[in-house]
Amino acid sequence: MKLCVLLSSGKDSVLAADLVCEQGHELVCALTLVSENPHSYMFHTPNVRLAEMQADAMGLPIILQPTKGEKEAELADLDTGLRKALDDYGAQGVVSGALKSEYQSQRIGKCCKKHALGVYAPLWQMDEGAELNLLLERGYKVIFSSVAADGLDESWLGKPLDKAAAAKLLSMDLSPVGEGGEFESLVLDCPLFSRRLRIVTSHIEKEGSNTSRLVVDEAVLEDK
């Protein structure tokens, strides 16, 4: 199938794209919702524009669809983006990184059904520890780009998701994959990328004692 990946720049969307390619599907484009609201109900927001570099590293054209990020209304913007994927790139289905969020899964499914697009969610209901292990086994280079939960502070920002970090997350009273927004991630490298992202400059924006985000000011793609 020719598929469009909902690319957020985070680990779940990139891993989902990786897995569907392994299953024999063809990625024809990426779709990224660029929200004005940093607390979007549906879409990843930290450093989301770096998805453009990730798509480049995967050799994919990308649709950057703006949205105000207003609850429920942002689904109309997803609908617009899906129409572009269908009309411009011949997408037959959509790749979603949804893991356990019924809210996200149902709304993506409803929008895809409107356009007769299949939904491919290879991570759906995967054990959280298994997902973390899969990322590590496949050599993903992932860093934490935001935190918003007790037990996570700004010292996590920019930190790699390695074995020690995974073990710590699994021992805490939160979703170890950040499914509830406890943290967000940024993929710098993975098997799908022909080149890797390197952060040149960044800064931290702190909102509260346990709510901060890493803002990438400049990044480049470089040879592996």
Read off the DSSP letter of residue 25: -
- For the chain, what is the radius of gyration of the CA atoms? 16
Q: What pLDDT is recorded for position 210? A: 83
Instruction: Tell me if 148 sits within 8 A of 203, measured CB to CB.
Output: no
Identify whether the C-beta of residue 126 lies closer than 8 Å to the C-beta of residue 99: yes
Quote the mean pLDDT of the chain.
94
Which tokens is 202 given? 């960044």
In the chain, CATH 3.40.50.620 covers 2-120
Is 128-223 in CATH node 3.90.550.10?
no
Closest CA to 117 of 82, 75, 73, 87: 82
68-87 confidence digits (pLDDT tens): 878 778 899 999 999 999 99
pTM of the model: 0.95
Burial class (CB in 10 A: 0-12, 13-18, 19+), 2: middle
Which residues belong to CATH 3.90.1490.10 in the chain? 128-223
Contact 120, 3 (CB under 8 A): yes
State mean pLDDT over 175-201: 96
Domain 2-120 CATH superfamily:
HUPs (3.40.50.620)
Q: Residue 40: pLDDT above 80?
A: no
Report the C-alpha gap between 98 and 121 in whole angstroms: 6
Question: In terms of DSSP bridges, do strands 195-208 and 93-95 run parallel, antiparallel, or are they unpaired?
Answer: unpaired
